[in-house]
Amino acid sequence: MKKLFCYIICILFFPIILLNCGKSPQDNLPERLLLLIIDGATWDVINPLMDEGKLPMFKSLVNKGLSGPLKTLKPTVSPTIWTCIATSRHYKDHGILGFKMALTLGMWLDFNKPEEKPHLVTSNLRKTKAIWNILSEKKIPVGVVNYLVSWPAEKVDGFIVTDRAIKFPGEINDAVSPKEQENEILEFIKSNKKPMHKFNHDAANSELAEDTCIVDLTLHLAQKNSPRVMLVGLRGTDAIEHQFWEYYKPHDPSWTDPECQPMPLVSSDNIVKESLVEPYVPPPDDQIKAFGSIVPQYYIEVDHLLGKLLTGLGTGWTVIIVSDHGFTPPIHINAPPGILICSGRPFIQRKNFEGYSVFDIVPTILYLLDLPVAKDMAGIPMIKGMEPNIEKNIPVKYLPTYETEESQNKKVEPISSDVDSKIMDQLKKLGYIK
């Protein structure tokens, strides 16, 4: 009888034992990775809307994974922080903004040639490798869509659709890589950036049209190219906050807080020339009534787009959602931390987790791909948000650097384009420059 019992047990459990024997620790790592950057997204708007049941996709991801504030840099200037996210390197290393860009945000200034006009930042000014360069060298297919400071498009194992391709399809060279996909992608953008009528303001409808096009393009390219890693930027939230926060929170104390005001423009002899912002005066009540709901309503639309994106991508994707910073008026120079949401294997549910920063995203991506983290990176993998004992089963590997002599000695010179004046005008509308 005892032998019969043992025989039955073996029959029942042998397939399970056999199945587990075939598993390796790496099976807990994701099949595919999506990094979604929602520019300027802030918990100050998301949390109340989730509590009201108006952001079901955000709430679902938060309930299933790691979430919390994402430490950022001060001043909270987007070109610098997006590049920190993409490189896990400090601005003094990657060279975007830093000492070569001052006085006017998002510009490149050569202090040795003060008579020259400032140039907009471009991808060739970046002095260190971005994650898409590293993955391409490892023959891991990668897709990049609408990443800030990605123009001109770099050659990768996969594709890059630059931020300028989205804004100005067909008006600029080197907007897409590889070149053989450029015409098709630009035509897709032109035909899919359709007018929207969700809001009672053209600026909000325009931003939503662009973000919707980005999601549609991402799904199209993911199906066509099958990248293992995708990096996608949605930038409408930040633009909406710049333009409509005064109607959403007209009495936000940051409007007059000295620590939230941008540095004034100064002359070469350090005499203040002008402020980047006018003294704040709350808008009239009728405008507050008309436009006060645009900020939260835009987040609801982004939640819809998030659902569309994740449903369209299908199963097998681990999702990391971040923002470069939260938002404070007038131009988020001293903004709160960004958002961090990680869902999918091997992440576990941990709400309101604090401790990770914009520098930790690339090391986490490398770890999830079982690749070494460079010791010259400023961040670490987000192990504390993953399954217990994962580091014991899959130790973090390190190498000194991913940089080469060629990348470290790269000559950087600003590049002009035919749309620079249009970009300058957009920066003026958002309050970044005079």
- Give the model's pLDDT for residue 251: 87
**Does residue 299 fall inside a structural domain?**
yes
Q: Are 238 and 105 in contact (CB under 8 A)?
A: no
**Does residue 14 fall inside a structural domain?**
no
On the 0-12 / 13-18 / 19+ scale of CB atoms within 10 A, 397 is exposed
**Does residue 5 fall inside a structural domain?**
no
- Give the model's pLDDT for residue 31: 94
- Give the model's pLDDT for residue 102: 43
How many domains, the chain?
A: 1
- Give the model's pLDDT for residue 153: 98
How many CA atoms are closer than 13 Å to the CA of 30, on its beta-carbon side? 26
**Does residue 255 fall inside a structural domain?**
yes
Domain coverage including residue 131: 26-429
pLDDT along the chain (434 residues), means of 10: 54 49 73 98 98 99 98 91 98 73 48 60 94 99 98 98 96 96 97 95 98 99 98 98 94 72 47 55 94 98 99 97 92 87 98 97 99 99 97 97 85 83 83 66
**CATH code of 286's domain:** 3.40.720.10
**Does residue 357 fall inside a structural domain?**
yes
How do 119-120 and 107-108 pair as beta strands?
Answer: antiparallel
How many CA atoms are closer than 13 Å to the CA of 23, on its beta-carbon side? 11
- Give the model's pLDDT for residue 10: 52
Q: Are 225 and 159 in contact (CB under 8 A)?
A: yes
- Give the model's pLDDT for residue 254: 73
Q: Are 163 and 213 in contact (CB under 8 A)?
A: no
On the 0-12 / 13-18 / 19+ scale of CB atoms within 10 A, 6 is exposed
Neighbours of 253 (CB within 10 A): 10
Q: Element (H or E) spanning 392, and its range?
A: helix 390-393
Q: Give the integer Cα–Cα distance in Å for 92 and 269.
A: 25
